Structure 1
Amino acid sequence: MKSTPHASQYARTEIHGFTLVEILMAIGIIGLLAAVAVPQYQRYVARSHAAELLLKFDAVKTNLGSLISSGNVQVNCGTVPAVVHAANLKSEYAGMDVGFEPVTGGFTPVLRYCATIEGRGPQAVQVVREAHTVMSRSASISQPVVLGDAAASFAVRLAGDTVLCKALPAAKPADICAKPMGLTMQADVMRLASGAIVPGGYHLHTQGNPFAMTVEMTILGVPPPGGAVLFNYGNYVDDHNAFSLWNPGSLTVAILGNDFNTGLNLRDGQTHRVSVSWDGATQTLAVYDNGNLVKTFTGAGRGYALNGNAEMSIGVKNKSPGFFEEGTRFSGEILRTSVVQRAMTAAELATPVFQTMAGKSELLMDVTVENGKVVDTTGHHDMREAGGVSVTQAEVATALVLKP
């Protein structure tokens, strides 16, 4: 008689696991926790490093106190950086230096904090902001300055209004925050490849007929040779009623039928913040490069005004609304284009127009890239791209992108 296998030999072995829904729920919970925890952790790190900066501040202040009591500071403020230990001026995320601020009868030492995203990313700027927040609770802050999302700095007086120096320091240390133009960062820029950027409806909204105008463009790289048009505003059927910037090899400004050749070469591979200020009342035209005067012309505009609300385009000359003149197309990289309905002064153009004119009604347009899109930051126009226009990244001076 054959033996019959026990029933347990045929029993099924159940395999336990997770359903797809359970896995997705777990992933969602983990993502939610991460979204809450990561920013909190970053804030914690910033606060920790800000606390480190404050400890270093106390150490520097103690060293200066010793100098003051010994009388050395009264003799020569130039000894301060030598006596303050170098380790007290360094931090993982931010730099510091000891400088001197004029006060009645002499100078008083100040400690300057500075950080940019060029060093340790946005975390560095956040550290300085945290330190600034803590410091601002006391009266020791001297002219607090927060430059923007890309860089931050502020200064703290080390001895209030007490005069510590009787003479100008013999060897003033380099101010790490004094030259933001020397700092660079990656920024989104507009790359035109025979394309164009125009406002919706193709018209620039002006306040009546412009009798004065300032146009500023920041040009990168090496534009092509020839008569390419950088900026064009005016009546497309009449060149005698137009304001144009063209010929990047020797920048030429056309106003109401007259050409003014500046001799400025935009094809040298350098970054150029070109500012063109026209005053119809005085018939003068002033051209600046990176805030420096290039040339001044007289007889510009013949005493006439431009048509209001006329067609405008960046990177090509208008032929008619929606159509452009071939042979005038520009190829190159543009960081920003700003248009102001008045003639701006040399002092105002020392800094980028979008910073100087932020929030003012005369700023008609400010075209740049934000969140990967070409926009008019004033909100006056919806910008459109015609033809070969793309967004890319380029190394630019931090001061050219800092928000006011």
Structure 2
Amino acid sequence: MSAGTTTARISQRISAIAESATLAVDAKAKALKAAGRPVIGFGAGEPDFPTPDYIVQAAIEAAGQPKYHRYSPAGGLPELKKAIAEKTLRDSGYQVDPSQVLVTNGGKQAVYNTFATLVDPGDEVIIPTPFWTTYPEAIRLAGGVPVEVFAGPEQGYLVTVEQLEAAVTDRTKILLFVSPSNPTGAVYSPEQVAEIGKWAASKGLWVVTDEIYEHLTYDGVEFTSIATAAPELGDKVVILNGVAKTYAMTGWRVGWMIGPADVIKAATNLQSHATSNVSNIMQVAAAAALTGPLTAVDEMKVAFDRRRKAIVAGLNAIDGVECPTPTGAFYVYADVRGLLGKEFETSNGPVRPSASAELATLILDEVEVAVVPGEAFGPSGYVRLSYALGDEDLAEGVRRIQEFLGKAK
């Protein structure tokens, strides 16, 4: 290196990554709680239920078996890959061989592996917006270009084929499709799923579909997998999923990707150098979850449904807030554009927030309630709240928000 030449301490690639806004909000809320503050967090999408006992017991038993104390195949334990293939046929009607499955360290690694495997520098990926915060960052890390297609509350946060058509260029390679949606809770109808899938096939696009909220739907709405709704896609589909949301296993870190054999082989090669195998104990627990009953999720859904109705009613009671009723996942995505520019009395004097990020900061600072601003998921003007927390905390949190926002002038 020549004299006087300086280099950045952090690479441009990593410096360009935005922090996970949802985890940042959750961390701040937990830090304030640890400091003794009565903070209520609507930030992280994390069920407040314990992992079902039979899953925990499977992990305990596995921990005592020496065979699980050793390295295992980077792509996943054979018994778990088989369970994932069988579960996919059961729940999605999509038949795959266990060799088409890669077990990952949570759903996020499945997202990263997928885009790292499919995307070359300059490739464009269409992302229906609002989107989960990790998607565009994983695409950029792979050298890809996220192309946002925004659907607001006026259309139920659901993009149309016409919007997607307008976003296609000669560099478009992938459509990302998520239903039920994080952050909006929106769910596409079977007809909409099929229409979008057929359109993607007609353009020769890959479809990457995140199905992690497949079991969390309400009001008689059914989950539809684009892989089966649009057989025209052939093998240009990658399915992302995991046990975190369905079985209250967010901390266990087991996800997976399903795709054509060559893609899975390449992604497995990547993972063999990055992390190698997922913890064997956690894989055994995940296999127990997938082969066991769905009783636990059915019980959780009763609570989620009750909380969903309560939070929507509570937020819609605030002048300037419009909160559509979601039919999936465990989030509400409230439109707060009617409050921006209004005056709020705070401990530091009157404030007129011009963006939802400023409004979210005020809510945390003034009434100690953590919500995630729309800037984390796309345009400003919205806030996401997870209702996967206890009923008492939800009621108290909504009450505080109502009290503060209700004083807007």
TM-score range with shorter-chain normalisation? under 0.3
Q: Which has the higher strand share?
A: 1
Higher relative contact order (CA 8 A, sep 6+): 2
Bigger radius of gyration: 1
Q: What's the TM-score, normalizing by structure 2?
A: 0.23
